[in-house]
Structure 1
Amino acid sequence: MNSYRIPEMAQKYMEYDMITKHTDLPHFPDYRARLLYAFLSKHSTFSNYSELFTLVTTLVQMGLDTHDMVSINNNVKEMRASRSRQLKVLAGDYFSGRFYYLLSHAGHIQLIGIISNAICEANRLKMNLYQLMKQLKMSADDYIKQTVEVKTQLFMAFAGFMEESVHGVWPEILRLFTQCEVLMQEINRSETAQQYRDGWGYWHIMQQASKEEKKHLQAEETDPSKLRSIWLKYKITPQLYQMLNASMKQLQDKLQTLDSKELGKELLQIGEPFMRYLSTPKAMEEI
C-alpha cells in the first residue's frame, strides 16, 4: 500500500508563482484528508482509488476555504490588496475545478455528482451560519457544532463508499477529528486575539457579557488591553483547552470500538498532534 502523500500531490495544483506571490492560502485540511485516505485505503473495492478520491476532495475543500478568505469589503483600493482578493477568487475556482477534470478523466462521473451535491450542502450550511452570525443569534455551542458540520460535508459524502464494518463509525470519527481540529484552531485564535469576532470566544462572551462589554466587543475599533481583560475574565482559553481535552477523550474511546486494530492504531497516530498539543506545559496548566 502506498504511503500517504496527498499534500505533496496537491502542491502540483497549488504552487503557482502568481498565487503564492500575491495572496495567502488557507491551511491544508490534513486531518480530514488523512482520515479519508486511511478509511478508503482499507476498502476492498476502492483502495486503488484512495489517493485520487482523497486528492480531489481536498482540492475542492481548498477551493471552498480559499473563497472564504475573500474580503467582502468592496472599498479596498490599494493595488496589492485588490490583486490578492481577485486571486483568491480565481484560485478557489481553479482548485474546485480540478476535481471535475481529474475525476472525469478517470471515469468516475458518479462521484462528480456526489461531490457537487456536497459542495451545495456545505455552501447552504455556511450561509445559514453567516446569517445567524449577522443576526447575533449564534450561541457558542452552535458555533462549534455548525462549523464542524460545514467542514465535514465534503468528506461525509463518502459515507456510502465505506466498508460495511466501518460504515456506521465513519461519520462520528470524522466529526470528532474535525471538532478537535476546530478547537485547536480556536485556541490559537484566542491566544493571539486574531479575528476574535469570528470565534467561539466571541459568541461565548456575547451570551454572558454586560451591556458595556458587548458594546466594546462590537465596536469597529477595540482597545487590545480591554479586549484581553474580557478574554481573561471569561476564561476563554482555559475552557477551549478543556473542550479539546474532552473531545480527544471521546475520540480515543470511539477508536477503541473499531473491529480493525490496524485501522484504530493508524487513526490514533493521525490524532497524535492533538495529544502533543494537550501535553504542552501551557495546556496542562489550563486543563
Structure 2
Amino acid sequence: MNSYRIPEMARKYMDYDMIRQHTDLPVFPEFRTHLLYAFLSRHSSLSGYSELFSLVTSLVQIGMDTHDLVSITNNAKETKAARSRQLKVLAGDYFSSRFYYLLSHAGQIELIGILSNAICEVNRKKMNLYQKMRQLNLTADDYIKLSVEIRAQLYLAFACLMEESLRHAWPEVLGLFTRCEVLLLEIGRSESAQQYRDSWGYWHILHQASKEEGKHVQAEDPDYAKLRSIWLKYKITPQLYQMLDSCMKQLQDKLQTLESKELAKELQLIGEPFARYLSTPKALEEI
C-alpha cells in the first residue's frame, strides 16, 4: 500500500506564483481527504485508484472552497483587491476542472457523474443555509448540522463505491470527523472578535440573548469589548470545547466497532490532532 501523499500531489495543481502572490487559498481538506484515502485503500478492486480518487476529490473541494472566499459584492476598486477577487474565481474554476481532466484520462467516467451530482447537492445545501441566514431562521444546532453536511457531501458520494464491509460505517465516521473539524474551526472563530459573524456563537447568542444583546451582535460596527463580554457571559468557547470533546468520544467509540482493527488504528492516527488539541491546558480548563 502506498503511503499517504495526497497534499503533495495536489500541490502540483495549486502551487502557482501568480496565485501565491495575489490571493489566498483555503486550507487543504486534510481530514476528509486522508479519511477517504484510508477507506478506499482497503477496497478489493478500487485500492489502485485510492490516490487518484482522493486527489480529484480534494481538488474539487478546494475549488468550491476557493469560490466561497469570493466576496458577494464587487466594490473593490483598488487593483490588488480586484486582482485577488478575480484570481479566486479563476483558481476555483481551474481546480474544479482538473477532476474532469484526470478522471477522463483514467477512463473513470462514472465517477465524474457521481462527483458532479454531489457538487449540485453541495450547492443546494449552501443555498439552503444562506437562505436561513438571511431570514435569521437558523439555530446554532442547525448551523453546525448544515456546515457538516456541506463539508462532507462530496466525500459522502463515495458511499456507493465503498467495500461492502465498510459501506455502512463510512457515512457515520465521515460525519463525526467532519463535525470535529467544524467544531475545531468554530473554536478558533470564537477566540477572534473579527470572525464572529455567522459563527456558531453568533447564532447561539441570537437565540439565547436579550434583544439588546442581539442587536449589538448584529450591528455592522459593534463595540468589540462589549461583544467579548457577551461571548464570555454565554460561555461560547467553553461550550464549543465541550462539544468537540463529546464528538471525539463518539468517534473513538465508533472506531472501536470497526471490523478492521488495522483501519481503526489508522483512523485513530488521522484523528490524533483533535485529541492533542483537547489535551492542551487551555482545552482541559474549558472542558
TM-score normalised per structure 1: 0.99
2:110 maps to 110
Q: Which residue is 1:215 aligned to?
A: 215
Kindly indicate whether residue 276 of structure 2 is the aligned counterpart of residue 276 of structure 1: yes
In the alignment, which residue of structure 2 is the partner of 1:170?
Answer: 170
Following the alignment from structure 1 to structure 2, what is the Cα–Cα distance between the partners of residues 223 and 48?
Answer: 55
Taking the aligned partners of 1:236 and 1:195, their CA distance within structure 2 comes to 13
* 1:134-162 superposed Cα distances (whole Å, 9 cap, x missing partner): 11000000000000000011100000111
Q: Name whichever of 77-86 and 257-266 sits farther off.
A: 77-86
Identity of aligned residues (%): 75
Post-superposition shift, 1:192?
1.4
Question: What is the letter of the counterpart of residue 239 of structure 1?
Answer: Q
Aligned equivalents of 2:194 and 2:108: distance in 1? 41
- Aligned position for 1:156: 156
Query: SS of the residue aligned with 2:56?
Result: helix
Give the 4+ runs in structure 1 shifted more than 3 A.
Answer: none
| Residue of structure 2 in register with 1:198 after alignment | 198
Residue 62 of structure 1 corresponds to 62
Please tell me the residue identity of whatever aligns with 2:267. L
DSSP 3-state at the match of 1:197: coil
What is the CA–CA distance in structure 2 between the aligned matches of 1:279 and 1:10, rounded to whole Å? 31
SS at match of 2:197: helix
Residues 124-273 of structure 1 aligned to structure 2 (within 5 Å): 124-273=124-273
CA RMSD of aligned residues (A): 0.6
Whole-angstrom CA distance in 1 between matches of 2:114 and 2:73: 33
Tell me what 2:96 maps to: 96
Give the deviation of 1:180 after TM superposition: 0.1
Paired amino acid for 1:95 = F
Residues 56-96 of structure 1: CA deviation (Å, up to 9, x unaligned):
00000000000000011222111111111110000000000
Structure 2 match to 1:53: 53
Q: Deviations over 1:228-270 (max 9, x none)?
A: 1110000000000000000000000000000000000000000
Q: Deviations over 1:77-118 (max 9, x none)?
A: 111111111100000000000000000000000100000000
Question: Could you tell me how far apart the structure 2 residues matched to 1:129 and 1:194 are?
Answer: 21
Give the Cα separation in 1 of the matches to 2:196 and 2:168.
36
Partner of 2:14: 14
TM-score by structure 2 length? 0.99
The whole-number CA distance in structure 2 between the counterparts of 1:7 and 1:193 is 31
Distance 1:21 1:195 in 2: 24
Runs (5+) with no aligned partner, structure 1: none
Report the alpha carbon displacement of residue 169 of structure 1 after superposing the two structures with TM: 0.7
Structure 2 residue matching 1:182: 3-state secondary structure: helix
Gaps of 5+ in 2: none
Pairing 1:41–2:55 present: no
Amino acid at match of 2:55: L
- The CA deviation at 1:219 is 1.0
| Structure-1 separation of matches of 2:258 and 2:102 | 32
| More displaced 10-residue stretch of structure 1: 241-250 or 75-84 | 75-84
Q: Distance in 2 between matches of 1:28 and 1:259?
A: 29
Cα offset, 1:225, TM superposition? 0.5
Q: Give the distance between the partners of 1:207 and 1:198, measured in 2 at CA.
A: 13
Inter-partner Cα distance in structure 2 for 1:29 and 1:268: 17
Deviation at 1:283, TM superposition (A): 0.2
Instruction: Quote the Cα distance in structure 1 between the aligned partners of 2:258 and 2:125.
Output: 30
Report the AA paired with residue 82 of structure 1: A
Mapped pair 1:73 → 2:73: yes
- DSSP-derived class of the 2:257 partner: coil
Between the aligned partners of 2:69 and 2:193, the Cα distance in structure 1 is 18
